[in-house]
Amino acid sequence: VCIDPAPPEPALPLPNITLAGGGPVGALLAHLLALRGFTVDVFEKRPDPRTAGYEAGRSINLALAERGLHALRTAGLAERVLSLAVMMRGRMVHAGSAPPVLQRYGVDDREVIWSVSRGELNKLMLDAAEMAGVRFHFGHMVERIDFDARRLCLRDVAGVQREHRFELMLGADGAGSAVRAAMHHVDPLGERVEALGHAYKELEIPPRPENGEARFAIEPHALHIWPRGGYMCIALPNPEGSFTVTLFLPGVGPYPSFATLPDAEHAADFFDTQFPDLLPLMPRFAEDFQAHPAPSLYTLYLDRWHLDGRAVLLGDAAHAMVPFHGQGMNCGLEDAVELAALLAGSPTDPAGVFAEFQRRRKPNADAIAAMALENYVEMRDSVADPRYLAKRALGLR
């Protein structure tokens, strides 16, 4: 019996996508949409990091966890990213003079997280998105948006103003999002910024040369923590043998705070008493402390993530959070997967898609932001508390 196959569904017309921000979240979303047949233009204010080098504005490496890995798998990128990453089996706690102790994340190496270079990850994602057909416009900063005329006003690196007409505007342009500011101008988004009162500074443990080879100076397969009650240092490994160390400390206030460590000399005295095992591992301590900034940490909350069917925010542009759960980017990559799937499912109903996207993702982002705040207290304090360790040993945590 010959049965005629059902005629193919007429293809739905796909709107052209304009995306601001070529960071990890923007690059993944652009890639996933291009794979589904959308035409995607990405405007990124920085020059192309693959040719201009990566300017490390914020943290040099990131913890990649299952949320982010799952998202990368949907774009076929997980294996390539993992080949650049260092496995971290748990937290290695350096409490006072006692020897460091590894608190594993799970029973074995199936439950681990990964340290990956922000720059290398971004470059890999840009390559993959470009291969899928995404058009990147580097050195183009979003300045203003006329949502009625659907016109994007850009400024290029030479200072020349340009315009781009858009159908749908997606904002993945990070915590200081220009898209968010423009949307807020048309219809307030209920924005609230809660400062943590703490800031961070990045330092480095270089590789230790041994028989002509670069070796890790401390255990490579762990996220190291030096908890000190009200503040802490952490260190994440890099594949070439170094560690990026981050000092988290109150920004202002009585000793110790960044305000009471005005220069490298005061800071070295502070480290000598508080982190005596760490200081000798950082031969460039004075130079790094003096040269590196100490940005403040905060959480961004919005009541609304979208402007009807014209624009939507995702990643840090929608929900910047403090970094203590190591989940900000991981959460943003999940956003990208969800938004790409919804847009592909209903490309002619962007207002419905954006509302549904917010309905599904905002409770998750709010919960992760809350856990990130709680985890600061856990990392800087509880992990060294004998009662906490006893509970862990009994499997109560």
Residues of the shown chain interacting with ligand FAD in the complex, contacts defined by CB under 6 A: 20-26, 43-46, 58-59, 62-63, 141-142, 172-174, 178, 200, 315-317, 323, 326-330, 332
Taking the least distance from each CB to ligand FAD, the nearer of 174 and 241 is: 174
Minimal distance, residue 58 CB to ligand FAD, in Å: 5
Taking the least distance from each CB to ligand FAD, the nearer of 5 and 227 is: 227
Minimal distance, residue 252 CB to ligand FAD, in Å: 19
Taking the least distance from each CB to ligand FAD, the nearer of 58 and 70 is: 58
User: Can you tell me the distance from the alpha carbon of 194 to that of 95, in angstroms, rounded to the nearest whole number?
Assistant: 30
User: Can you tell me the distance from the alpha carbon of 353 to that of 200, in angstroms, rounded to the nearest whole number?
Assistant: 37
Using H for helix, E for strand and C for coil, what is the string for 73-138? Answer: HHCCCHHHHHCCCEEECEEEECCCCCCCEEEECCCCCCCCEEEEEHHHHHHHHHHHHHHCCCEEEE
Minimal distance, residue 202 CB to ligand FAD, in Å: 8
Taking the least distance from each CB to ligand FAD, the nearer of 25 and 32 is: 25
Cross-strand bridge partners of residue 195: 298
Provide the angle, in degrees to the nearest 10, between the axes of the packed helices 350-380 and 328-345.
Answer: 170
Minimal distance, residue 274 CB to ligand FAD, in Å: 20
Minimal distance, residue 31 CB to ligand FAD, in Å: 13
Minimal distance, residue 134 CB to ligand FAD, in Å: 14
Residue nearest ligand FAD, CB atom distance: 23
Taking the least distance from each CB to ligand FAD, the nearer of 16 and 346 is: 16
Of 210, 220, 246, 217, the closest CA to residue 231 belongs to 246
Taking the least distance from each CB to ligand FAD, the nearer of 172 and 217 is: 172
DSSP type of residue 154: E
Pairing of strands 161-165, 151-156: antiparallel
Of 67, 62, 379, the closest CA to residue 225 belongs to 379
Of 175, 200, 181, the closest CA to residue 311 belongs to 181
